[in-house]
Amino acid sequence: MPDTSYVPVLKGKQGEFGALSKVQQSTRSSILPLLEVVPMNVDDESAARESVDRAVKKLTCWAGNDLILDVGLLSTAEDLVGGLGVTHYAVRQSCEKGIGAIPVVRLGDNEQVHHDTRKANEDFGTGAAIRLNSEDMDEDPDDLDESVAALLAELNLGPASADLVLDLGVVQGDLAVRAGARMVADVLGGLSDVDKWRRVIVTSGAFPLDLSSVSPWTFGEFQRYDAALWDRIIGRRRLTRVPLFGDYAIGYPLLAGGPPFAPAPQLRYTVSDRWLVLKGRRNDPRGNDQFYDVCETISGHPEFAGGALGVADSRIADPRQQGPGNGATWREIGTTHHLDFVVQRITSLGEP
């Protein structure tokens, strides 16, 4: 696989799975998705095996490629079979489908996750991805360095066989950008042998929780503070290790709760420094057919990338060649465009 240029963090839902199947080949070969397996029932963590089976079935489109697989939203302490838990099960099921799955481990994970990860590396040569959150990174640098080294030793891994994911979570506003950049610089400056890690990745997300602030048929605009954060990080002098860029695409970093509902036809469209959002009305008698008008309005915007960018933009440019779809379709189109667009910018401009 060619060198990774971008790490999108995606929830394991229908729209995101669809996006992975629709991206350009150049995008496919340039990204290392970090996929979070979502519980089939948010209120029932015990259905871990069923949640993994569903996700891996949807991931067959990613066969022949690598990804980072995070089962942290599931119940990871349970022994599924023969002393092995859901972390090993997810890696094994993925690898059997031809997907190079790298398990995620956190500083506070239980011994079952540690055992599963060690065994996964023995069985499949996966290594691991150590995922730190803002609370971890806010610790004393010496304490953090000691904790990370101890975790690697527990996993029987050296840094060359592991990815370090610095996940800042929600980043919204200029103050959060400046604070996040300082935190990442402090972590990179304080960790021993940071240049020896297989990959160092910074992830954050700036898309809002929902579109309640956007009025129907009026463009909403949200700043891509996650991209601004990465630009600020790499602009700092004496950076010990230049990290890979990661974001949460057009999704909110945290898993939203509550019962599902059918959204109004909408499109979340990524441009250079912000997202353009346009939505119809939930009670419009045209129903989902409003999506045709949403696409036609977006494709008429001066910052529309053009149908040649990929499958998603081609559909936006000529939406009536297919049906209007539903909420999962609209998330798939927006996510596919985002992945293609960000890779194009990174490979051509050196920025997301």
Q: How many CA atoms lie within 13 A of 325 on its CB side?
A: 25
Three-state DSSP at 65 gives coil
Q: Which stretches within 97-128 are classed as H helix?
A: 111-124
Residue type at position 171: V
Q: pLDDT tens digits, residue range 250-305?
A: 999 998 776 677 899 999 999 999 999 999 999 999 999 999 999 999 999 999 99
Q: Supply angle C-alpha 230, 236, 238, rounded to 5.
A: 130
* Rounded alpha-carbon distances, angstroms, from residue 24 to 28, 222, 337, 341: 6, 25, 10, 10
Q: pLDDT tens digits, residue range 156-209?
A: 999 999 999 999 999 999 999 999 999 999 999 999 999 999 999 999 999 999
Q: What is the chain's alpha carbon radius of gyration, rounded to the nearest angstrom?
A: 20
Q: What is the DSSP letter of 196?
A: G
The pLDDT of 239-259, averaged and rounded, is: 89
CA distance 107 to 164: 12
Which residues touch 285 (CB under 8 Å, ≥6 apart)? none
CA distance 343 to 241: 21
Specify the pLDDT at position 40: 81
63-79 CB burial, b ≥16 within 10 A, e <16: eebbbbbbbebbbbeee
Q: Is the pLDDT of residue 46 over 90?
A: no
Residue 246's φ and ψ, nearest 5 degrees, are -140, 145
The pLDDT of 303-309, averaged and rounded, is: 98
CA distance 263 to 211: 10
Residue 339's nearest CA partner among 3, 103, 2, 9 is 9
CA distance 247 to 263: 23
Which residues touch 183 (CB under 8 Å, ≥6 apart)? 134, 137, 138, 168
Which residues touch 219 (CB under 8 Å, ≥6 apart)? 276, 277, 278, 301
CA distance 275 to 270: 5
Domain ranges of the chain: 6-32+127-349
Residue 332's nearest CA partner among 213, 219, 251 is 251
**Residue 268 buriedness (CB in 10 A; 0-12 / 13-18 / 19+):** buried
* For the chain, percent of residues with pLDDT exceeding 90: 89
Q: How confident is the model at residue 2 (pLDDT cuts 50, 70, 90)?
A: very low
For the record, the structure tokens of 339 come out as 């992945």
Residue 220's nearest CA partner among 167, 278, 154 is 278
Q: Is the pLDDT of residue 3 over 90?
A: no
- E strand segments, 64-127: 66-70, 100-105
Give the pTM: 0.96
Which residues touch 121 (CB under 8 Å, ≥6 apart)? 127, 128, 155, 156, 157, 161
Q: How confident is the model at residue 325 (pLDDT cuts 50, 70, 90)?
A: very high
Specify the pLDDT at position 81: 82
Q: pLDDT tens digits, residue range 203-232?
A: 999 999 999 999 999 999 999 999 999 999
Q: Is the pLDDT of residue 25 over 80?
A: yes
Question: How many C-beta atoms lie closer than 10 Å to residue 349's C-beta?
Answer: 9
Q: How confident is the model at residue 326 (pLDDT cuts 50, 70, 90)?
A: very high
Phi/psi-derived region of residue 216, left when phi > 0, alpha when psi is between -120 and 50, beta in every other case: beta
User: Which carries the bigger pLDDT value, residue 345 or residue 3?
Assistant: 345
